[in-house]
Amino acid sequence: MANVLVIAEVKEGKLKKVTLELLSKGQELASKAGGALEAVVLGSGVEALAGEMAQYGAAKVYVADDAALAAFNGEAYANVLVKLIEASKPGIVLVGASINGKDLAPRISAKIGAGLASDCTDLDVADGKLVVKRPIFAGKAFSKITFKSDIQIASVRPNVNPLAAPNAGASPVVEKIDAAAGDVKAKILETHKSAAGKIELTEAEIIVSGGRGMKGPENYKLIEDMAAVLGAAVGASRAAVDAGWRPHGDQVGQTGKTVNPNLYVACGISGAIQHLAGMSSSKCIVAINKDAEAPIFKVADYGIVGDLFTVVPLMTDELKKLLA
Amino acid sequence: MNIIVLVKQVPDTETRIKLKAGSTDIDREGINMVLNPYDEFAVEEAIKIKEAGGGSVVIITAGEAKAEEAVRTALAMGADRAIRLDGAEFAGADSYSTAKALAKAISAEQYDLILCGKQAVDDDSVQVGTLVAAMLGIPSVNMVTKLEVAGGSMKASREIEGGHEVVEVPTPCVITAQKGLNEPRYPSLPGIMKAKKKELKAVALGALGLSADEVGAAGAKSAVVELSLPPERKAGQVFEGEAAEIVPKVVKLLRDEAKVV
Ligand SMILES: Cc1cc2nc3c(=O)[nH]c(=O)nc-3n(C[C@H](O)[C@H](O)[C@H](O)COP(=O)(O)OP(=O)(O)OC[C@H]3O[C@@H](n4cnc5c(N)ncnc54)[C@H](O)[C@@H]3O)c2cc1C
Ligand SMILES: Nc1ncnc2c1ncn2[C@@H]1O[C@H](COP(=O)(O)O)[C@@H](O)[C@H]1O
């Protein structure tokens, strides 16, 4: 009997979608492992989120509520979570493979001596133990991983697990836990938000990306316009980032972000192997390139050979009409 | 400041990955191996800090003898000496047992700062730096794009979702390097010549002071049981001609066929 513990992630007072995805998947894993699905949320004023977690199957929600936990701090959060995990002894711990999730997971792994697989895209239980699949070489291959430790931790990619139907009638069982963060050495001095409401690339369902073919930073307006119509995030190739047209955080590829949206629109991107590594698991790829020989067309579901400065605005208009 | 940099040798990002039948490793035949790109940032930052304030830069790697090429690159960039954990016992490690061995090797050194990459671009684990810090009982700051020495502490800018934050952390600490931290230098010819004479010590398990069941496959908390390649993408439809005709067609396909908008 092994319980599954989902570590919730809160953004601007709301649960992130990946948390609901993990609860949805967690129900299945818990029943295969013969245990219960539990969740934990840390923050300030977060108890109200327990209701939604119960609707997605959490039999119990641990709440660590403290003003000191209002902003994510990997050290502080890990201290609180390690105490909970040592006391409640789940068999499986799931956390979203976000920037914060990937900061947190190894801290917990080291403190409790538990195996950790990062960025998992497939999870199952066999003979009571967790078995996962995860991309290596930025998605050029996948490895299947089993665990030797009693507690097994996986950080899980957003957008790979479908949401279960919420049970509107479920009411939460809340257990308040010790929220004392203990001795925290890293102090956050300043926080800078580059753009409010910006969609994180690794979690985006649609991405519009521009490469060297954009010719200059000013032309990204074309990409942003299409992204706005689609509710999409904006990405870039390394050539565009190296030219200083876009911030580092926008880079998609082997040394940038690995993304898996439903739709990836590549504009003026040739499709170098390092770029493809980061985006070829997208469900649908559209390529816009004036060179019919560009390798991006080999992975595109729909390719448009043409000048992006004509094609992109036309497409934005067409999408606008469609989605109006 | 005494700085330790953890480096790993990885396949060049150009590499087309092929699987090796009956193995849980890729086919390494003919693959060009390089210093992990994120570790280049770590090495560069260490050398810059040393150039500005003095101290030493020691490179540590866990890997086969071939990995000494990557170590020599780091030495040619300007690091002082290096250690390679050597022996069959270290093979088959996961991030946990790798970190265990590295942390032990580090604890035999004098250090104020440990720099490493945020991620090795082969296993893409994003774990080892943080694990090492926790095992040594020191703090860590991840995905750092700007670093300043501030007395007995470090001031680090790190990437967060939709922005960045500035973190102050006392030394000794671990910092993991993200792209943007600096522009790694190319080793100069004199640098390469000098690197050949710098100390590169192979340390075996016995000298490290861990037992065989703590490292490599035996000390791992997880195991790779199978590798696979991603499903091949089916050839798609490519449209050439008048944009005004093609674009509405593609948008319609996105809605009706792909069902993504
Ligand atoms: C260690 C290492 C790591 C790397 N990591 C990454 C990574 O993470 N991500 C990444 O993206 N790259 C990465 N690269 C770089 C990669 O090899 C390519 O250089 C890069 O992806 C090229 O970017 P691009 O496609 O925008 O530019 P180019 O290859 O120059 O392609 C530009 C394309 O735009 C098209 N074009 C030009 N004008 C127009 C127009 N008016 N209309 C339509 N199309 C037009 C051209 O036909 C061309 O195909 C890495 C390289 C190395 C060595
Ligand atoms: N075998 C190793 N030897 C030395 N350093 C390593 C090793 N593996 C990982 N590292 C360091 O840890 C970082 C993160 O690696 P990973 O957690 O594997 O993605 C790398 O960029 C290296 O700096």
Name, in order, each residue with C-beta under 8 angstroms of B209's C-beta and a sequence gap of 6 or more: B104, B108
pLDDT at A194 over 80: no
Percentage, residues of chain A above pLDDT 90: 94
Which residues of chain B make contact with A297, given a CB cutoff of 8 A? 236, 238
d(CA B28, CA B31): 5
Domain ranges of chain B: 2-214
SS3 A240: helix
Name, in order, each residue with C-beta under 8 angstroms of A311's C-beta and a sequence gap of 6 or more: A288, A304, B243, B246, B247
Find out whether A135 and A97 touch, Cβ atoms under 8 Å: no
Mutate to test the pocket of ligand 1, among A226, A270, A276, A311 (most ligand atoms within 8 A of CB): A270
* Gap from B256 CA to chain A (nearest CA, Å): 12
Structural domains in chain A plus CATH codes: 4-176 (3.40.50.620), 201-323 (3.40.50.1220)
Distance of CA A151 to the CA centre of its chain: 22
How many helices (H) and strands (E) would you count in chain A? Answer: 8, 18
Nearest to B190 by CA among B109, B105, B78: B78
Cα–Cα–Cα angle for B251, A302, A98, rounded to 5 degrees: 90
Q: Which residues line ligand 1 (CB under 6 A)?
A: A 211-213, 237-240, 251-256, 268-270, 272, 274-275, 278, 288-291, 294, 307-309; B 13, 37
As for the ipTM of the complex, it is 0.95
Nearest to B243 among A137, A143, A310 (CB): A310
* Gap from A173 CA to chain B (nearest CA, Å): 31
pLDDT at B60 over 90: yes
Predicted local confidence at residue B232, as pLDDT: 86
Which residues of chain A make contact with B253, given a CB cutoff of 8 A? 302
Residue B127 CB less than 6 A away from ligand 2: yes
pLDDT at A197 over 70: no
Q: Do A185 and B94 touch (CB under 8 A)?
A: no
Tens-digit pLDDT profile for residues A52-87? 999 999 999 999 999 999 999 999 999 999 999 999
Q: Do B134 and A304 touch (CB under 8 A)?
A: no
Tens-digit pLDDT profile for residues A163-184? 999 999 999 999 999 999 999 9
Cα–Cα–Cα angle for A45, A47, A48, rounded to 5 degrees: 95
Tens-digit pLDDT profile for residues B110-123? 999 999 999 999 99
Beta strand residue intervals within A52-159, DSSP E:
60-65, 92-96, 115-120, 122-126, 129-136, 141-147, 152-156
Positive or negative, the CA dihedral B77, B80, B85, B87 is: positive
Beta strand residue intervals within chain B, DSSP E:
2-6, 9-11, 33-35, 56-62, 81-85, 113-117, 140-150, 153-160, 163-170, 173-177, 200-203, 222-228, 237-240
Which class for B113: exposed (0-12), middle (13-18), buried (19 or more C-beta within 10 A)?
A: buried
B5 Cα to the center of ligand 2, angstroms: 10
d(CA A113, CA B123): 20
B194 Cα to the center of ligand 2, angstroms: 25
Residue B123 CB less than 6 A away from ligand 2: yes
Q: Do A145 and B223 touch (CB under 8 A)?
A: yes
Find out whether A20 and A56 touch, Cβ atoms under 8 Å: yes
d(CA A51, CA A43): 15
Which residues of chain A make contact with B122, given a CB cutoff of 8 A? 136-137
DSSP A23-58: HHHHHHHHHHHTS-EEEEEEESS-GGGHHHHHHTT-
* Gap from A171 CA to chain B (nearest CA, Å): 31
SS3 letters across B114-153: EEEECCCCCCCCCCHHHHHHHHHCCCEEEEEEEEEEECCE
Predicted local confidence at residue A196, as pLDDT: 60
Please give the CATH architecture assigned to the domain spanning B2-214.
3-Layer(aba) Sandwich (3.40)
d(CA A315, CA B97): 51
Pairing outcome for strands B163-170 and B113-117: unpaired
pLDDT at A263 over 80: yes
Residue B117 CB less than 6 A away from ligand 2: yes
